[in-house]
């Protein structure tokens, strides 16, 4: 008899909704339910998707008064599950850990908005499936790196493996989207800079030797992030464009495309093709602007902010709970998310 792993998703925002629809169809997982904190149209959506909804115990009455079916309190959900995937708004995961997960002895995955260092640290590692998948096996608390950090690891690690210490330095100009497609908050007409981007330190958590420098700018767009990565080589022998692209031909979650004019083209194509939630779940290397200049290779890739971390969370579950080999976990994730198939479609569409 197969024993299903019971997973509770604590938070039903942009990431929680996507995690729920992916985990609900994995036959090894029993999606115990999702948490809702606010009474809004997402409660109806969750119920229509046949998810059990858990809410703070003091709010159960109010949800019921509005006619919503509530299965139980957050405490009850944590008690009943084998693993919590915390998808709370940034920073709240720490309080959840202290109030619920630790006292009830439940393992948890946190998202990239949580702290890895300092008083409010929630875990002692950040997961990136391309780099430290095996290290998460059997861990109780792990942070899944944010969309940008996941994308950076996915592009840097194959380059490091192929060119090693010929790479002197990585610089990334990170052009961030202002909001996600579903967000109702207004998009401000401004380009804002980040005085202290976290991405550099987060990546060094799993690639400690990376000589990496990140600057981040937020632009008025809802579509995707764009990373402009500058890779500087030290011995005067800079790889050719083909040698660079070769590193990514068989990489999970990396598409190589040519004819998109911007991030909006990729997002709109994913919506037009009916990809779940309009996500590609990958990074897309724009080979038309991949340049080799003097000692530097410039690689631009768009990073699907909402989609990137969903297969990553699934892979992390495979490591933490099932302790599977990375190859087996990738095979399962590919099957669940149809990554290879969708990559081939995108590469054909943007040939
Ligand atoms: N959006 C992205 O592109 C993206 C990408 C990668 C990683 N992340 C990370 O993923 C996390 C979630 O981001 P998001 O974009 O999904 O945020 P979001 O859309 O703002 O959703 C946050 C959710 O947190 C819920 N919430 C409120 N109080 C909570 C509590 N005490 N415990 C648990 N959940 C609570 C909210 O519930 P109600 O709606 O019921 O109030 C809401 O559904 C953050 O750490 C973020 O940094 C986001």
Furthest-apart CA atoms within the chain: distance in Å: 70
**Ligand 1 atom, smallest distance to 17 CA:** 16
The number of beta carbons lying within 10 Å of the beta carbon of residue 298 is: 16
Q: How far is the CA of 67 from the centre of ligand 1 (A)?
A: 24
Q: How far is the CA of 24 from the centre of ligand 1 (A)?
A: 19
Q: Please say if the pLDDT value at position 148 is more than 80.
A: yes
- In the numeric block, the tokens 């969708």 are attached to 342
Pocket test for ligand 1, best of 46, 55, 88 (most atoms within 8 A of CB): 88
Q: Please give the pLDDT value at position 235.
A: 76
The pLDDT tens digits of the residues spanning 6-25 come to 999 999 999 999 999 999 99
Do the Cβ atoms of 220 and 192 come closer than 8 Å? no
Q: What angle do CA 272, 306, 206 make, to 5 degrees?
A: 135
Among protein residues, the one whose CA lies closest to atom 13 of ligand 1: 89
Helix axes 199-206, 147-163, angle to 10 degrees: 50
pLDDT band at 202 (very low <50, low <70, confident <90, very high): very high
Q: How far is the CA of 196 from the centre of ligand 1 (A)?
A: 22
User: Given phi > 0 = left and psi -120 to 50 = alpha, else beta, which region is 253?
Assistant: left
Q: Please give the pLDDT value at position 236.
A: 77
Q: How far is the CA of 88 from the centre of ligand 1 (A)?
A: 4
Q: Please give the pLDDT value at position 2.
A: 66
Q: Please give the pLDDT value at position 3.
A: 73
Segment 79-88 shows an average pLDDT of 98
Return the HEC string of 286-328. EHHHCEEECCEEEEEEEECCCCCHHHHHHHHHHHHCCCCCHHH
Closest of 151, 95, 120 to residue 312, by C-alpha: 151
Q: Please give the pLDDT value at position 197.
A: 95
| Contact partners, residue 16, CB within 8 Å, separation at least 6 | 9, 10, 34, 35, 87
Q: Please give the pLDDT value at position 17.
A: 98
Closest of 194, 198, 99, 79 to residue 148, by C-alpha: 198
Q: Please say if the pLDDT value at position 103 is more than 90.
A: yes
**Ligand 1 atom, smallest distance to 111 CA:** 45
Q: How far is the CA of 34 from the centre of ligand 1 (A)?
A: 12
| Beta bridge partners of residue 126, listed in sequence order | 143
pLDDT band at 1 (very low <50, low <70, confident <90, very high): low
Give the binding-site residues of ligand 1, using a 6 Å CB cut-off.
10-16, 35-38, 42, 87-90, 92, 96, 111-114, 146-147, 180, 305-306, 309
Closest of 219, 169, 218 to residue 197, by C-alpha: 218
Q: Distance between CA atoms of 85 and 270, rounded to whole angstroms? A: 26
| CA distances for 294 relative to 144, 210, 232, 239, angstroms | 36, 21, 9, 11
Do the Cβ atoms of 91 and 114 come closer than 8 Å? yes
pLDDT band at 268 (very low <50, low <70, confident <90, very high): very high
Q: Distance between CA atoms of 109 and 143, rounded to whole angstroms? A: 6
**Ligand 1 atom, smallest distance to 10 CA:** 33
pLDDT band at 60 (very low <50, low <70, confident <90, very high): very high
Q: How far is the CA of 224 from the centre of ligand 1 (A)?
A: 18
Do the Cβ atoms of 300 and 290 come closer than 8 Å? yes
| pTM, two decimal places | 0.97
Q: How far is the CA of 111 from the centre of ligand 1 (A)?
A: 9
């Amino acid at each position: 008899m197969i024993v299903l792993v019971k997973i509770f998703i604590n938070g039903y925002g942009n990431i929680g909704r996507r995690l729920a629809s992916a985990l609900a169809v994995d036959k090894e997982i029993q999606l115990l339910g999702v948490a809702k904190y606010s009474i809004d149209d997402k409660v109806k959506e969750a119920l229509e998707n046949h998810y059990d909804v858990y809410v703070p115990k003091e709010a159960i009455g109010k949800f019921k008064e509005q006619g919503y079916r509530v299965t139980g309190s957050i405490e009850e959900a944590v008690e009943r599950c084998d693993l919590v995937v915390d998808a709370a708004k940034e920073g709240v995961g720490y309080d959840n850990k202290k109030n619920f997960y630790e006292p009830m002895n439940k393992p948890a995955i946190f998202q990239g908005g949580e702290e890895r260092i300092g008083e409010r640290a929630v875990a002692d590692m950040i997961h990136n499936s391309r780099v430290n998948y095996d290290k998460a096996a059997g861990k109780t608390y792990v942070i899944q790196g944010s969309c940008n950090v996941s994308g950076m690891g996915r592009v840097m690690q194959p380059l490091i493996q192929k060119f090693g210490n010929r790479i002197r330095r990585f610089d990334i100009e990170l052009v961030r989207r202002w909001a996600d497609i579903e967000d109702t908050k207004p998009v401000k007409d401004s380009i804002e800079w980040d005085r202290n981007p976290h991405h550099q330190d987060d990546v060094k958590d799993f690639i400690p030797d990376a000589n990496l420098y990140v600057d981040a700018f937020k632009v008025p767009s809802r579509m995707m992030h764009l990373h402009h990565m500058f890779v500087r080589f030290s011995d005067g022998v800079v790889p050719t464009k083909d040698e660079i692209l070769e590193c990514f031909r068989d990489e999970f979650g990396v598409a190589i495309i040519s004819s998109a004019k911007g991030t909006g083209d990729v997002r709109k194509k994913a919506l037009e093709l009916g990809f779940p939630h309009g996500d590609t779940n990958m990074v897309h290397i724009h080979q038309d602007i991949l340049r080799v200049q003097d000692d530097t290779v410039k690689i631009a890739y768009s990073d699907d902010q909402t989609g990137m971390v969903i297969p990553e969370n699934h892979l992390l579950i495979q490591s933490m709970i099932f302790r599977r080999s990375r190859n087996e976990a990738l095979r399962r994730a590919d099957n669940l998310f149809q990554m290879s198939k969708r990559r081939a479609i995108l590469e054909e569409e943007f040939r």
